[in-house]
């Protein structure tokens, strides 16, 4: 494809035209303006919702400031995750080492906030200045009596996905340390669900209705104790596969817990997820409950979604999200309301996930890994999209190009998961695509597509 | 009472500071046809982009050299050069601004040498200007990066020239609307000026007809190169350290007088600007500005009863804290707590002087404070209003105090880029906001529910 940086040629494909062989899981190209963040970001995202732990960022101030209370992960109780804790290293510590400051910070925070655990995130310079964070954490764990867990999240040591792995390793240290007993009911851990806008609560409610016990959610609205007893569950149900599949694999190996891979975005995928769990247990009561639940929810939704479908039929969407697995769900969910996906991309999709996209998308759809603003802007113009589904960094692009926009990132305040979420998703898209404001937009005037508020 | 952060709290909880590369990024955004690249991990660029996008609601493209483990071991030269190549091929900018990060500084990357090598290796190409600013985040904060970058720009682009009838204004971190206000003031004096870095269009642009790789607007290289022909410089900072001051640099190198002024909020601070402009242009204040001043005084009179004696906590960067304290004192409010994440000791005599002038006790001047320290300070004080960024909202909610949002970031309100607070006009708009807030509180609390004031 023309105009793509040479390093990125193997990361951009036109469906049906190019031979599809996605080269992903690679570091971002320098100078490309990747939409990805770093290893630290990956770790921070995964661990962030753990609400009764202190999240201490060890390094100069930036990393802690930019991640202070910026995500919509809700808690039903403590809210320690909404603080920004930093060792705020200055030049002096960069020269003489930051271990002492780290030790003192941990002691202070543990005493004042009484967390159930402390996660210590290493940022870029920690290894370079030679701080032995493992030693400090081990010592502090012994002295204080709660788990002080190092997270090896130096920004440059890989991609955001390596940060997910570092977070999974940190969680894995906790699992199995709990003194709980095995639940009597069939039980699951929900992995890769972060309770954005209360989504975990919606999903948990479905499982409750089905008769399935939730042993833990990792990490939406989660607590250290629940995580420490996660090894007692019968099944791991993994949503955001990019972020937490590695934990599921580690738990399978150590605790013999099988895992399944699901999505709660869109009605088809939500229904499939619930049926999959029901089938796993094979309990007739659970299967019956699940059928009832799904039938009821879908029958309530169908009429509403059909209304939206009439209005949105034929509109074209660009999807650029964190992981490719979520992109599939969005392709299906958008199709359900009459829309066609013309660009499908992700920051950190893996090869297996990407390989499923060509079959799901129409010919001509652009499939892209680790894209950048210039590429995305060009693709939406070439493919004449009406709507962009992405995160905060994509929002101004959509606005400048006169496109509707749906925020499907971690900052969202409206739940988009589950059946209820599908309704919100359709409504948000409807509002944005149909708004009359695009009538005034010079970019859209050229295309003669004015919004209609009917 | 002067306070500095009390030990033994070594840890920072809810910092007031952002890092130096963010300040550099805002400054580079004010340069015409410029792309910035942060020399460090991919996250630095992405986090800063996200933070700026949420505030300005504009596209903010900032590249990264995207360090990997190998880069950290062997140095970032190749990554940086490759990054510059990719920026040129994608964006074709006139200027590339490189800001370093804590990572590249800590491994001791010699970025100046990389740039020289790059320029030698690519002699056949028509290269953009490449400007380097050193912004490790363990040194200073976003204000530091903002001014250091302005200084780097003039250091790199200015040479000895004949002086002309023109002045240069180095702005502080103010809103795009404030920049437009400042330009209107300058234009009223009908005198030639260069304002830098002008991010009024790049970070608050209109709708686009055509796609722009780099948003239009900004101070051009040509303008910056002519800064050394200015007769005088105005620098909107009174807290600035001389080592990072672009104005002080130009004075030392080209003997251009540097007038350091507060951010013009309130009558006195705006008067100081007018006096400076009168002297520079050898004219008197234009009638439109004089009328604005009169209208502001009239508004002060109309407003005085609603706000007299109200006790205020101010949170912001050093210069903003000073100007807000000065303004609210003028209308009879009392800055009880003046706090900043910076370490500007210059604030102490300045705020003491204001207190003496308006006959109230010297405020608690809190330097090197985080939001958590400020919250503790507020708990023991009966205040009526907090002025700060969005990040002060949590304490405002907890303490049930109203919050007026000024500064950076404003992430929880619409229209941060359009917020006007400077000059006589801006002060009036800020005054309106404050007065209406108190009227509304009064109205909501009053069972009669008066529909007039």
Is A310 exposed, middle or buried, given 0-12, 13-18 or 19+ CB atoms closer than 10 A?
exposed
Chain B environment of A399 (Cβ under 8 Å)? 57
Contact B118, B125 (CB under 8 A): no
Decide if A431 touches B, using CB distance below 8 A: no
Question: According to the model, what pLDDT value does residue A449 have?
Answer: 45
What residues of A are in contact with residue B45 (Cβ under 8 Å)? Answer: 33
Q: What chain B residue is nearest to A62 in terms of C-alpha separation?
A: B19
Q: Residues B63, B93: one domain?
A: yes
Distance from CA of B283 to the nearest CA of A (A): 42
Contact list in A for residue B60 (CB cut-off 8 A) is 396
Please check whether residue A60 touches B, CB under 8 A: yes
Q: Does A65 touch chain B (CB under 8 A)?
A: yes
Q: Are B236 and B319 in contact (CB under 8 A)?
A: yes
Whether residue A37 lies within 8 A of chain B, CB to CB, comes out as yes
Does residue B155 belong to any structural domain of this protein? no
Whether residues B74 and B213 share a domain: the answer is: no
Contact state of A393 with B141 under an 8 Å Cβ cutoff = no
Cβ-based neighbour number of residue A258 at 10 Å: 11
Beta bridge pairs of residue B339: B315, B366
Please tell me whether residues B196 and B92 are part of one structural domain.
no
Chain B residue numbers touching A390 (CB-CB < 8 A): none
Distance CA B245, CA B247 (A): 5
Residue B82's closest chain A neighbor by CA? Answer: A30
Cα B327 from Cα B354, distance rounded (Å)? 10
A130-134, A380-384, B120-124, B327-331: least confidently modelled range? B120-124
Using CA atoms, how far apart are residues B155 and B131, in angstroms rounded to an integer?
A: 9
Q: Does domain A39-174 have CATH number 3.40.50.1980?
A: yes
Residues B395 and B411: their CA atoms lie apart, in Å, by 15
- Least CA distance to B20: which residue of chain A? A62
- Residue contact B138–A91, C-beta within 8 A: yes
- Give me the mean pLDDT over the A80-93 stretch: 97
Helices A99-113 and A133-144 cross at an angle (nearest 10°) of: 30
Q: The CATH number of the domain where B115 resides is what?
A: 3.40.50.1980
Q: Which chain B residues have a beta carbon less than 8 Å from that of A90?
A: 138-139
Looking at the fold, whether B192 and B245 belong to one and the same domain comes out as yes
Q: Which of B59, B90, B138 sits opposite A397 (nearest CB)?
A: B59
* Two tokens, residue A28: 């971002």
Q: Are B172 and B263 in contact (CB under 8 A)?
A: yes
Mean pLDDT, residues A359-375:
94
Interface contact flag, B64 A104, Cβ < 8 Å = no
Residues forming CATH 3.40.50.1980 domain(s) in chain A: 39-174, 187-291, 302-447
Q: Which residue has the higher pLDDT, B210 or A372?
A: A372
- Final residue of a structural domain among B231, B256, B281: B281
Has residue B285 got a pLDDT over 90?
yes
The one-character DSSP state at B31 is B
Mean pLDDT taken over chain B: 96
DSSP state letter for B229: G
A393 interfaces chain B, CB cutoff of 8 Å: yes
| Residue pLDDT, tens place only, B399-450 | 999 999 999 999 999 999 999 999 999 999 999 999 999 999 999 999 998 8
Residue B6 above 90 pLDDT? no
| Pair B320, B353 in one domain | yes
The answer, yes or no, to whether residue B288 has pLDDT greater than 50, is: yes
CB pairs under 8 A between A and B: 232
Question: At A448, is the pLDDT very low, low, confident or very high (cuts 50, 70, 90)?
Answer: low
- Cβ of A88 within 8 Å of Cβ of B11? The answer is yes
Q: Is the pLDDT of residue A381 over 60?
A: yes
Q: Look at residue A17 in the predicted model and tell me its pLDDT.
A: 86
**Where among B100, B120, B149 does a domain terminate?**
B149
Q: Residue B4's CB: how many other CB atoms inside 10 A? A: 13
Across B230-238, average pLDDT? 98
Q: What is the pLDDT of residues A192-225, one digit of tens each?
A: 999 999 999 999 999 999 999 999 999 999 999 9
- How far B50 CA lies from chain A's nearest CA (Å)? 6
CA–CA separation, B223 vs A268, rounded Å? 59
Inform me whether the C-beta atom of residue A38 falls under 8 Å from chain B C-beta atoms: yes
- Separation CA A385–CA A427 (nearest Å): 18
Q: Write the pLDDT tens digit of every residue in A409-439.
A: 888 899 999 999 999 999 999 999 999 999 8
pLDDT in tens, A307-335: 999 999 999 999 999 888 889 899 999 99
| Residue A302 DSSP symbol | H
Q: Which CATH superfamily is domain A302-447 in?
A: Nitrogenase molybdenum iron protein domain (3.40.50.1980)
Which structural domain, as residue segments, surrounds residue B193? 166-281
> Rounded to an integer, what distance in angstroms lies between the CA atom of residue A334 and that of residue A103?
50
pLDDT of residue A377 exceeding 90: yes
Distance (Å, rounded) from C-alpha B194 to C-alpha B168? Answer: 5
How far apart (Å, rounded) are the C-alpha atoms in residues B388 and B407? 7
Residue pointed to by tokens 């661990």: A47
- Cβ-proximal residues to A220 (8 Å cutoff; 6+ apart), any chain: A49, A73, A74, A190, A193, A194, A195, A196, A199, A200
Using 50, 70 and 90 to split pLDDT, how confident is the model at A453? Answer: very low
Task: Examine residue B126 and state whether it is found in any structural domain, yes or no.
Answer: yes
Q: Are residues B236 and B316 in the same domain?
A: no
Question: Is the domain defined by A187-291 classed in CATH 3.40.50.1980?
Answer: yes
B213 and B83, same structural domain? Answer: no
- % helix / strand / coil in chain A, to the nearest 5? 50, 15, 35
Q: Note whether residue B5 is domain-resident.
A: no
The answer, for A440 touching chain B at a CB cutoff of 8 Å, is yes
Predicted pLDDT of residue B56: 98
Q: Quote the strand ranges of A31-181, DSSP E.
A: 53-58, 85-86, 117-122, 147-151
Angle at A216 between CA A212 and CA A220, to 5 degrees: 115
- pLDDT of the residue at B124: 78
pLDDT band (50, 70, 90) for residue B4: low
Distance separating alpha carbons of residues A395 and B172, to the nearest angstrom: 27
Kindly state whether residue B13 falls inside one of the protein's structural domains: no
**B296 and B431 fall within a common domain:** yes
Length of chain B: 453
**Number of domains into which chain B is organized:** 3
- Contacts for A247 with CB less than 8 Å, ≥ 6 apart: A168, A171, A172, A191, A218, A236
- Distance in Å, alpha carbon of A111 to nearest chain B alpha carbon: 11
**Does residue B336 register a pLDDT over 50?**
yes
* Both structure tokens of B380: 């023991």
Per DSSP bridges, beta strands B258-260 and A259-261 are: unpaired
CB atoms within 10 A of CB A193: 29
Name which of A116, A354, A364, A297 is nearest A224 in CA terms: A116
Domain-embedded: residue B428: yes
Chain A hits for B42, CB-CB cut-off 8 Å, are 28, 34, 36-38, 155, 159
Nearest-CB residue to A37 (from B17, B42, B65): B42
Q: Are residues B185 and B110 in the same domain?
A: no
Spatial contact of B226 and B194, defined as CB atoms under 8 Å apart: yes
Residues B216 and B112 in one domain: no
A-chain residue closest to B341, CA distance:
A61
From the candidates B118, B137, B203, B390, which should be mutated to test the interface with A, based on the most A CB atoms within 10 A? B137
The CA-based angle B299-B301-B302, given to 5 degrees, is 65
pLDDT tens-digit map of B14-33: 999 999 999 999 999 999 99
What per-residue confidence (pLDDT) applies to A450? 42
- Domain end, chosen from B241, B257, B281, is at B281
**Looking at the complex, does the CB of residue A443 fall below 8 Å from at least one CB of chain B?**
yes
pLDDT at residue A419 in the model = 97
Tell the residue number behind the tokens 């005088």, with chain if given: B232
Quote the pLDDT of residue B2: 67
Quote the minimal CA–CA distance from A360 to chain B in Å: 30
CA atoms within 13 A on the CB side of A144: 26
Confirm if A233 and A257 have CB atoms less than 8 A apart. Answer: yes
pLDDT per residue over B78-115, tens digit each?
Answer: 999 999 999 999 999 999 999 999 999 999 999 999 99
> In B, which residues are within 8 Å of A395 by CB distance?
53, 57
Q: Say yes or no: ipTM exceeds 0.85.
A: yes
Going by pLDDT thresholds of 50, 70 and 90, the confidence category of residue A447 is low
d(CA A149, CA B304): 55
Disruptive mutation site among B17, B61, B63, B66 for chain A (greatest number of A CBs within 10 Å): B66
Residue B48 has pLDDT above 60, yes or no: yes
DSSP string, A216-257: EEEETT--HHHHHTGGG-SEEEESSHHHHHHHHHHHHHHH--
User: Is B54 contained in some domain?
Assistant: yes
Report the 10 Å Cβ neighbour count for B411: 18
Average pLDDT in the B293-317 region? 98
Asked if B346 and B416 sit in the same domain, the reply is yes
Strands A316-321 and A235-238: unpaired
Q: Is B44 within 8 Å of A392 when comparing Cβ atoms?
A: no
% pLDDT > 70, chain B: 98
């Amino acid at each position: 494809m023309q105009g793509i940086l040479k390093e990125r040629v193997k990361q951009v494909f036109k469906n049906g035209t190019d031979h599809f062989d996605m080269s992903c899981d690679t570091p971002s190209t320098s100078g490309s303006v990747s939409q990805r963040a770093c290893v630290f970001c990956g770790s921070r995202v995964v661990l962030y919702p753990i609400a009764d732990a202190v999240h201490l960022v060890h390094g100069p101030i930036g990393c802690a400031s930019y991640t202070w209370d910026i995500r919509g992960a809700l808690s039903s109780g403590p809210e320690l995750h909404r603080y920004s804790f930093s060792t705020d290293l200055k030049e002096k510590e960069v020269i003489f080492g930051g271990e002492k400051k780290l030790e003192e910070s941990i002691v202070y925070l543990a005493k004042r906030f009484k967390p159930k655990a402390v996660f210590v995130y290493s940022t870029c310079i920690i290894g370079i200045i030679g701080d032995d964070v493992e030693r400090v954490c081990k010592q502090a764990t012994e002295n204080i009596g709660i788990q002080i867990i190092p997270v090896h999240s130096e920004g440059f040591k890989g991609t955001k996905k390596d940060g997910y792995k570092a977070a999974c390793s940190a969680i894995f240290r906790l699992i199995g340390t709990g003194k709980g007993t095995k639940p009597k009911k069939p039980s699951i851990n929900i992995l890769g669900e972060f309770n954005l806008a209360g989504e975990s609560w919606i999903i948990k409610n479905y499982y409750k209705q089905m008769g399935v016990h939730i042993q833990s959610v990792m990490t939406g609205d989660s607590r250290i104790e629940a995580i420490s007893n996660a090894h007692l569950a019968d099944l791991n149900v993994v949503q955001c596969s990019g972020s937490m599949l590695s934990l599921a694999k580690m738990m399978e190996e150590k605790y013999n817990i099988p895992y399944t891979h699901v999505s709660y975005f869109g009605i088809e995928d939500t229904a499939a997820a619930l049926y999959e769990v029901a089938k796993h247990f094979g309990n007739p009561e659970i299967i019956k409950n699940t059928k009832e639940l799904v039938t009821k929810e879908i029958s309530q939704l169908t009429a509403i979604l059909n209304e939206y479908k009439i209005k949105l039929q034929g509109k074209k969407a660009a999807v650029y999200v964190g992981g490719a697995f979520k992109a599939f769900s969005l392709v299906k969910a958008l199709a359900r309301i009459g829309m066609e996906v013309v660009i499908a991309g992700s920051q950190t999709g893996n090869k297996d996930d990407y390989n499923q996209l060509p079959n799901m998308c129409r010919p001509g759809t652009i499939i892209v890994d680790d894209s950048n603003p210039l590429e995305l802007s060009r693709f939406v113009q070439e493919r004449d999209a009406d709507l962009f589904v992405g995160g905060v960094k994509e929002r101004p692009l959509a606005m400048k190009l006169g496109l509707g926009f749906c925020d499907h990132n971690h900052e969202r305040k409206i739940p988009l998961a589950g059946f209820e979420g599908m309704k919100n998703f359709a409504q948000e898209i409807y509002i944005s695509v149909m708004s009359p404001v695009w009538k005034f937009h010079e970019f859209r005037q050229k295309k003669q597509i004015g919004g209609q508020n009917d | 009472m002067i306070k500095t952060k009390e030990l033994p709290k070594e840890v920072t909880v809810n910092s007031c500071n952002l890092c130096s590369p963010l300040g550099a990024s805002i400054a580079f955004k004010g340069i015409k046809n410029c792309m910035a690249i942060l020399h460090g991990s991919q996250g630095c660029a992405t986090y800063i982009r996200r933070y700026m996008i949420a505030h300005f609601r504009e596209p903010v493209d900032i590249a990264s050299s995207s360090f990997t483990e190998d880069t950290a071991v062997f140095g970032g030269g190749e990554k940086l050069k490759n990054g510059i190549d990719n920026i040129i091929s994608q964006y074709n900018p006139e200027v590339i601004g490189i800001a370093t990060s804590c990572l590249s500084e800590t491994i001791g990357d010699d970025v100046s040498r990389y740039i020289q090598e790059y320029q030698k290796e690519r002699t056949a190409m028509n290269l953009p200007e490449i400007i380097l600013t050193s912004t490790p985040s363990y040194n200073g904060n976003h204000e530091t990066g903002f001014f250091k970058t302005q200084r780097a720009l003039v250091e790199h682009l200015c040479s000895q020239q004949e002086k002309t009838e023109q002045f240069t204004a180095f702005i502080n971190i103010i809103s795009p609307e404030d920049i437009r206000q400042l330009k209107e003031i300058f234009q009223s004096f009908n005198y030639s000026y260069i304002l830098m870095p002008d991010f009024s269009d790049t970070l608050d642009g209109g709708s686009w007809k055509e796609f722009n790789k780099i948003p239009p607007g900004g101070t051009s290289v040509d303008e910056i190169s002519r800064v050394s022909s200015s007769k005088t410089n105005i620098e909107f900072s009174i807290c600035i350290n001389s080592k990072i001051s672009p104005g002080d640099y130009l004075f030392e190198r080209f003997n251009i007088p540097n007038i350091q002024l507060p951010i013009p909020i309130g009558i006195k601070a705006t008067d100081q600007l007018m006096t400076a402009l009168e002297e520079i242009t050898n004219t008197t204040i234009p009638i439109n500005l004089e009328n604005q001043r009169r209208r502001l005084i009239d508004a002060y009179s109309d407003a005085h009863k609603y706000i007299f004696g109200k006790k205020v906590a101010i949170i912001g960067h050093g210069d903003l804290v000073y100007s807000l304290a000065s303004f609210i004192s003028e209308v009879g409010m009392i800055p009880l707590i003046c706090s900043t994440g910076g370490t500007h000791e210059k604030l102490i005599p300045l705020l003491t002087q204001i207190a003496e002038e308006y006959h109230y006790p010297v405020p608690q001047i809190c330097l090197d404070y985080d939001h958590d320290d400020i919250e503790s300070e507020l708990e023991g004080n009966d205040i009526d209003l907090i002025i700060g960024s969005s990040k002060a909202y949590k304490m405002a909610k907890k303490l049930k105090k109203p919050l007026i949002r000024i500064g950076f970031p404003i992430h929880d309100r619409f229209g941060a880029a359009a917020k006007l607070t400077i000059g006589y006009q801006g002060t009036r708009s800020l005054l309106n906001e404050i007065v209406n807030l108190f009227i509304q509180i009064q109205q909501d609390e009053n069972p009669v529910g008066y529909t007039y004031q």
